[in-house]
Amino acid sequence: MTAAPLIELEGITKTFGNGAAAFQALKGIDLTIDRGEFVAIMGPSGSGKSTTMNILGCLDVPTGGVFRFRGVEVQKLDRDQRSLLRRRYLGFVFQGFNLLARTTALENVELPLVYRGEKKHERRAAAMRALDQVGLVPWASHTPAELSGGQQQRVAIARALVTEPDVLLADEPTGNLDSERSVEIMELLQRLNGEGITVLMVTHEEEMASYAKTIVRFRDGLVDRVDHGARGRADARAPA
Amino acid sequence: MLGTTILLSLREIRRHILRSILTTLGIIIGVAAVVTMVTLGNGVTASVQEDISALGASNFIVFPVRTTRGAIRPFDDADVRAVEQQIAGVKIAAGGVGASATAFYNGQDWDTRIEGGTNPLLEAQTIKIKEGRPFTRDEEEAGKNVCLLGLKVRDEIFPRGTSPVGARMRLGGVSCQVIGVMEERGQGGGQDDDDVVYMPLKTVQRRFRGNDNLDYFVVKYDAAYAATTIQDALVDLLRERRLLQGTEPNDFNVIDTAQINQALSAVTGALTAMVAIIASISLLVGGIGIMNIMLVSVTERTREIGIRLAIGALAREVRLQFLTEAVVLCALGGLVGIALAFGASFGLAAVIEVPFVFDPVINIVSFVFAASMGIVFGYYPAHRASRLDPIDALRHE
């Protein structure tokens, strides 16, 4: 059985606004990402990398083109169907951590499981496993305000992992961290990728991108170049 | 899921405890007002019905009134006997008089009312003997100095734990023998029905009033007869006996105890309706307050909503979360209102001397109504939260 690619983008365009004020952020993106990949998306501001990330995260839909995720054409799905897709297959890590304030690390990690309707003791056990993966079990009952930036981001990663997703989407995950913490986070993402999870990351730092297997460079709404990360293992399949 | 959502709501409410209290004040006041008024209204109705049943069902009370023609013309025993004998359907007609005096016993004294009546009057007013015995025929006809004590009078002048039956006491200048104690009757018509001494009609007429006049008489009729038939016959007979000509107004009143009941429940009903209108305005204002605070909450928590949507919450799950919060807020307001109403109506019932009648229906209805205010006024903010775009919401500062 030949597995279909996990993610396929074909001629993806995205236009914001209409008429004279219309702005075409994506001008036809073709990209294929297989299971087990670690892709870094790079590019200057306005190059379309965040827009692409939002589409890949099923948070936004393209104006034109076809986006297949696990063979499903995502651009045809409605809001709630895309929510269900995110809930089941995707985990998100954001630049600003985006943890719920005044809520313990454990409860933050449990949150996605609440929407899956899992029982309390199962949620708790799964959340503790995820916290263990990021080395934060001793901090389970602390709130974000009591944690350092690096720890908060690791809680966010645990929250993304707790549903055992196919894909981890990280939008500038080290953007708010110093270089030492950034390296910790990148090594963590690399380790998780080694355990089988597909990682998609947006970054503007070459050093962070070098941890990825594949680096996709955007320019003016198009894919400019595809490289291999210096510290990653290169086996990405990019379109010619 | 719902349990988790409710816990989450309670936590949010606790985080902004002062804001939550101020927001629900309208609901609290509205619910407290309705429940208090209905509970007191029930108390008043119960008290009135108790009075009415003390007067006896199927009863008329007849008493003389002043007209433009001049002084009050009292009834006498001959009128009562005529009514009893000449009107078909009348079972008992019994007259009564009142006086006041100080009761003395063994150095204790107490100012009280004295009622003169016969056993049929006691029967028509459903007064029961707790200990001792009623008047004998001989005592009634001879106007003997015997008396039946109300509980209040017994408690005021006789030592605790002793029976006054058989004791000789003094009422003003009249010495009398206690032959019994009446059962508790409670408050009625603005007076304490236990703060009274009953003596035979003739004794009171002779010793306290010095004439044969009656203040009023009670007519108890057979329930098989229509009240209007009896009343018409009664009025005709009394007009004839009092020599009233064609157009002259009645110089007496005939009151149907059932009519008092109807009139009073109409008044209570009107009062309750008025309070209900005031309370619904309070609830409306309270509801708008809830909507306002929920809109504030949605704006404050835009980022949180973005996070929830990003990790896969459905629009309806976000809507349910905010709707639950509004309903929980309103339901808590309702509970506080009911608790306040319980205290207020308990206290006020004691002050205005009516029984405290707990009505589960109005409490449940008020609670459900308050909670449904949460659905009505929480829906729009919740809907707005559920329609947020996750990307914009995550960017919100």
CB contact under 8 A, A80 and B309: no
Q: How much is the pLDDT for A29? A: 94
DSSP label at residue B205: I
**For residue A165, what is the nearest residue in chain B, using CA coordinates?**
B311
| Beta-sheet pairing, A198-202 with A167-171 | parallel
CB contact under 8 A, A98 and B394: yes
Q: What letters, b where the CB count within 10 A reaches 16 and e where it falls short, cover B328-353?
A: bbbbbbbbbbbebbbebbeebbeeee
CA dihedral B120, B124, B127, B129 (to 10 degrees): 30
Q: Is B385 on the interface with A (CB under 8 A)?
A: no
* Count of residues making up chain B: 397
Q: How much is the pLDDT for B187? A: 63
Q: Is B288 on the interface with A (CB under 8 A)?
A: no
Question: How far off is chain B from A163, nearest CA to CA, in Å?
Answer: 10
Cα B280 to chain centroid, rounded: 23
Q: Is the pLDDT of residue B54 over 70?
A: no
Q: Which of B290, B354, B303 is nearest to B39 (CA)?
A: B354
Q: How much is the pLDDT for B224? A: 84
Q: Is B391 on the interface with A (CB under 8 A)?
A: yes
Q: Is the pLDDT of residue B38 over 90?
A: no
Contact A75, A155 (CB under 8 A): no
Half-sphere exposure for A31 (CA within 13 Å, toward CB)? 32
Q: Which of B87-96, B163-172, B256-265, B357-366 has the lowest mean pLDDT?
A: B256-265
Contact B115, B97 (CB under 8 A): yes
Low-confidence ranges of chain A (pLDDT < 50): 1, 234-240
Q: What CA–CA distance (Å, rounded) separates A36 from B202?
A: 113
Task: Identify any residues that bridge with B63 across adjacent strands, giving them in sequence order.
Answer: B253
Q: Give the residue ranges of DSSP H helices in chain A.
A: 49-56, 79-89, 105-115, 120-133, 149-161, 179-194, 206-209
Q: What CA–CA distance (Å, rounded) separates B75 from B65?
A: 11
Q: What CA–CA distance (Å, rounded) separates B41 from B355?
A: 10
Per CB-CB distance under 8 Å, the chain B contacts of A57 are 310
Task: Identify any residues that bridge with B188 across adjacent strands, giving them in sequence order.
Answer: B191
Nearest by CB to B313, from A60, A83, A102: name it: A83
Contact A97, A88 (CB under 8 A): no
Nearest by CB to B391, from A59, A86, A117: name it: A59
State pLDDT tens for residues B284-318: 888 999 999 999 999 999 999 999 999 999 999 99
Nearest by CB to B391, from A54, A87, A115: name it: A54
pLDDT confidence bin for B331, thresholds 50/70/90:
very high
Q: Is A117 on the interface with B (CB under 8 A)?
A: yes
State pLDDT tens for residues B189-242: 567 788 899 999 999 999 999 899 999 998 988 888 888 888 899 999 999 998
CB contact under 8 A, A117 and B1: yes
Task: Identify any residues that bridge with A214 across adjacent strands, giving them in sequence order.
Answer: A39, A228
Tokens at B61, concatenated: 């009370």
Q: How much is the pLDDT for A2? A: 53
pLDDT confidence bin for B347, thresholds 50/70/90:
very high
Number of other residues whose CB lies within 10 A of the CB of residue A32: 17
Q: Is A100 on the interface with B (CB under 8 A)?
A: yes
Q: How much is the pLDDT for A3? A: 65
